[in-house]
Structure 1
Amino acid sequence: MKKISVACAVLLSCLTASIAVAKNPYPVAGVCHGLPKVDVSTIANTCLAVVASDLKMPRGVLPLSDGDIWLTEMGSWERGRGRLSRVQKNDKGYERTTILDGLDRPHGLALGPDGWIYVAEAGRILRVNPNVTVFDKRNGYEIVMDDLLKTGLHPLKQIAFDAKGDLYISMGAQTDHCERPQASGGGVEFPCQETQGARATAAIWKVNLREGKRIEVFARGVRNAMGVTFSAKGDLVVTENGRDNISRLDKKLNDATLPHDALMVVTPKADYGWPYCYDGNRLNPEYRSYSRACIGKAKPNVLLPAHSAPLGIMRYANDGVITALRGQYLIALHGYRDTGHRLVAMPASGQLSGKTSDVVSRWGARGDQPMGAPVDLKASPSGLVYMTDDRNDALLVLSNQL
């Protein structure tokens, strides 16, 4: 790994800012966990509160055992506007400290087996020592990987570590459905070149950091898996965002309800069919002249609402303090359509039925209530569920209503 020796005043901006409740984007509806309560519907005996506001497009979240909460803030879709922040509680509330500034569209956050915090930018993976309080020439950060493709339609990266310490990276598709205006066959490629080879996109990579950063394409044909977690057995579980504009070539297909987003318990080495297939083994209209393109492709385990944008997923512990969530997958439906803007739960044990229940709902725009847009979510060691909302620049927490 390459060591970066920089002074705090140069690239590592150790700036602290108090988080002002006055900038809370949500109307206050009481108190929850000692914080401003959000006026939404939540599962019985719970409530949702604003921990921090006035952030800059917060995406990834990582609560640690010491009570600190780490965030990636994308800042903008423009390059170099993002930052890594740490939120800490004090006598006056919460304070945010900028740890790294000038990052390129950071998204994923994960605690590594070495105790360092791993940060996924569009084109590289960094790691930071959370125990360092002052970054100087002896205590910088390290670049773990710096050659990731950062262009295309889905440049953001999600990351997670398995129990063995291997790193998984979601490599989003460069296009919506492998469209190429110069290509024949309805403006698409067959075979789709970005899904091929040892550094495929629309794929999930498995990286062995212990053995020279050896990359393995763990699964292909996954358009954009922004939610990444693991089952109780250790299987990789992802949520996928489906394609757009499916009715362009076939008006009989309803773009409002097709295709579904999806959840997969990933089979190693499987090909899940993007860009040829949707909803399992149905041929996309652009690929109907390739009638065998979906044969042998793996199917998702669960179909989720179309265009709900499942950007985050976690498995809540069987002994978590929020009883109603125990042993369930929690899925953040970010939404750019009305199927999203909520948090849902799905039983994580046994055969996945696909049946979900609302955990946070009634989160659409109404009156002075803004539309919610949950992104990432993770539980603290105490069982509180922290989540980011990039539309309203807020960090939220789901807690028992005491």
Structure 2
Amino acid sequence: MKTLPTLLLLVCLPAYGRDLPLDTLKLPAGFRIAIYADAVPGARSMALAPDGTLFVGTRGDTVYALPNRTGGPRADAVLTLLQGLNTPNGVAFHDGALYVAEIGRILRYDQISARLRNPPKPVVVSDAFPRDAHHGWKFIRFGPDGRLYVSVGAPCNICEPDPARYAAIFRLKPDGSALEQYARGVRNTVGFDWHPQTGELWFTDNGRDWLGNDAPPDELNRAPRAGLHFGYPYCHGNAIADSEYGDKRACAEFTPPMRELGAHVAALGMRFYSGTMFPEPWRGRVFIAEHGSWNRIPPSGYRLTTARIEGGRVTAYEVFAEGWLKGIAAWGRPVDVQVMPDGALLVSDDKAGVIYRISYGK
């Protein structure tokens, strides 16, 4: 096992409770970033209910609820909704219920908006998922087909796991039935969304470690239909054969990414911007939270990027917000993004323990 330099461990120390230097963050002209909610330790994936309540998962044991009954620029409160769970990273809201993904199962909390201070006992929707801790935290979202999509990462850095159970995106009905694999060869996606016009699934994917500072890239992928294979563990990026498994299958056999992202940037949450607050050039773009590298010198990521989509192609990939990384240490790590009804963009940060709100104009 390779040992991390002690220097890099500084990047992962928690920053909860200290003043955050928001004035050092750089965004395009006219954009502003502020705190939507603080004291949200380990804030990861987000899901929004129609009444304005934001649900926030973590890689600890807690799920938070952040009500906002007026639609204002800050949450009304930060409520500890659920505790004692097994890495409840993934959260999704559907038909009045909160769905929570633990490592090995998915739970459902019915009529949750009326029970924020006294949540009901959960219903087990499915316990059919692997229980491996490595890449075991899950991202979940409901698709336009009404099904719940669930990521299952590879139980390793690089290996040849059971292709029917790992390194894939699955979907199932809200009651847990009809579980099926939608996409395979996906090392570890912690963010996906559907194109607002075509309804096609797009997702980020994290590249493997220990191929060097600049390889392989993270990826932005498109899955217009079920059954596509995206290369893991045989091929990375457009055409990088894996050093251990690349001789088994050629890169030409797989669906290439729509865009190679930065190496080791840890591209996690992503959303198509569907609001109208941002100016026209930013509408319809993909916004990506790049959580940041853990084993690269110098570090990479720790920023928000955008991808412009035109005619089903990515025509630009550029930095939108940066400044969380200072030298080799970072005071924040973006995880997920959420478009709000007023068009503002929320960003979760599991290191600073906050939710940011990015707005445009006054």
Unaligned 5+ runs, structure 1: 1-21, 28-36, 76-81, 179-191, 247-254
Instruction: Map 1:3-402; keep pairs closer than 5 Å.
Output: 23-27=17-21, 37-75=22-60, 82-89=61-68, 94-112=76-94, 114-128=95-109, 129-133=111-115, 139-178=120-159, 192-195=160-163, 197=164, 200-209=165-174, 213-232=177-196, 233-246=198-211, 255-266=212-223, 267-290=225-248, 292-317=249-274, 319-323=275-279, 324-336=281-293, 337=296, 338-365=299-326, 370-402=330-362
Rounded Cα–Cα distance in structure 2 between residues aligned with 1:316 and 1:365 = 28
Rounded Cα–Cα distance in structure 2 between residues aligned with 1:214 and 1:116 = 19
Whichever residue aligns with residue 179 of structure 2, its letter is I
Q: For the Cα contact (< 8 Å) 2:32–2:358, is it kept in 1?
A: yes
RMSD of Structure 2 on Structure 1 (CA)? 2.5
| Cα deviation code 1:371-398 (max 9, x no counterpart) | 3210011111111111111111111111
TM-score scaled by length of structure 1: 0.77
Change (3 A) 1:152 1:70: closer
Rounded Cα–Cα distance in structure 1 between residues aligned with 2:116 and 2:40 = 22
Q: For the Cα contact (< 8 Å) 1:341–1:363, is it kept in 2?
A: yes
Deviation of residue 289 (structure 1)? 4.2
Rounded Cα–Cα distance in structure 1 between residues aligned with 2:75 and 2:129 = 38
Whichever residue aligns with residue 119 of structure 1, its letter is V
Deviation of residue 50 (structure 1)? 1.6
Rounded Cα–Cα distance in structure 1 between residues aligned with 2:64 and 2:126 = 21
Rounded Cα–Cα distance in structure 2 between residues aligned with 1:57 and 1:164 = 31
Unaligned 5+ runs, structure 2: 1-15
Deviation of residue 205 (structure 1)? 0.6
| Cα deviation code 1:77-122 (max 9, x no counterpart) | xxxxx1111123599974211111111111122222x232221111
Q: For the Cα contact (< 8 Å) 2:147–2:171, is it kept in 1?
A: yes
Deviation of residue 136 (structure 1)? 5.9
Change (3 A) 1:136 1:386: closer
Change (3 A) 1:109 1:325: farther
Tell me what 1:6 maps to.
none
Rounded Cα–Cα distance in structure 1 between residues aligned with 2:360 and 2:265 = 26
TM-score scaled by length of structure 2: 0.85
Deviation of residue 293 (structure 1)? 4.2
Whichever residue aligns with residue 279 of structure 1, its letter is G
Q: For the Cα contact (< 8 Å) 1:38–1:49, is it kept in 2?
A: no
Count residues in correspondence: 336
